[in-house]
Amino acid sequence: MVLREILLSLPNRPGALAGVARALARERINLAAISADAAAGRGSLRLIVSDPDRAMALLAQAGYAPEVREMLAVRLEDRAGSFLRVLEVLAREKVNIQSVAILVARDGNQPLVALSSTDLARTRRLLQRAGFVSRAAEGLVSNGDLLASAPSIPGESVGLLL
């Protein structure tokens, strides 16, 4: 199983984000990362959750139109410029990044970042060669494993974070 993020378009109005959170919290689907923004009356929401298949089904039943995107987890040094090194490798090879999410889990004491690109297999090869894809980060390939590696997160974290 691979790491996946869910993408949603929402109306930019009070309660829209709460509706998504309610649907996920009701089913105890945990959240590992979230990004939300809005422009021109529409909101964009990206979620990395513990059970993306179940979340997709629940959100579709609730009237949303969820999309899914595969991601790759990379580890960074916990210091300024670390992520820039990843970006420079990909820019040099003309890899286009689609999204980035800082994850709640860590590889030992190193932060993990998930990213998607237009060619994920090539991105994985490039970043493995450059030493950014660790064995532990690669082991966190499923959304459920990602959250299990962060035991300090409460069981119903989606209710807390959203």
Residue with the larger pLDDT of the pair 124 and 107: 124
Identify the pLDDT of residue 134: 64
Q: Looking at the predicted structure, is the pLDDT value of residue 159 above 50? A: no
Report the alpha-carbon distance of residue 73 to residue 85 in Å, rounded: 15
Best CA proximity match to 30, nearest among 11, 12, 51, 15: 51
Q: Are 157 and 13 in contact (CB under 8 A)?
A: no
Q: Looking at the predicted structure, is the pLDDT value of residue 148 above 50? A: yes
CATH of 70-148, one of 1.10.340.30, 3.30.2130.10, 3.90.190.10, 3.40.50.2300: 3.30.2130.10
Phi, psi (deg, nearest 5) at residue 94? 60, 40
Identify the pLDDT of residue 72: 87
Condensed to tens digits (0 to 9), the pLDDT of residues 46-67 reads 998 888 999 999 999 989 999 9
Report the alpha-carbon distance of residue 152 to residue 149 in Å, rounded: 9
Q: Looking at the predicted structure, is the pLDDT value of residue 161 above 80? A: no
99 pLDDT band (50/70/90 cuts)?
confident
Burial class of residue 101 in the structure, from the number of CB atoms within 10 Å of its CB (0-12 exposed, 13-18 middle, 19+ buried): buried
CATH of 3-69+153-161, one of 3.40.1480.10, 3.30.2130.10, 3.40.640.10, 3.40.50.970: 3.30.2130.10
In this chain, the answer to whether the domains covering 3-69+153-161 and 70-148 adopt an identical fold is yes
> 81 is written with which tokens?
């410029």
Q: Whole-model pTM? A: 0.72
Q: Looking at the predicted structure, is the pLDDT value of residue 95 above 60? A: yes
Residue 77 vs residues 82, 148, 158: alpha-carbon distances, Å: 6, 22, 27
Domain locations in the chain as residue ranges: 3-69+153-161, 70-148
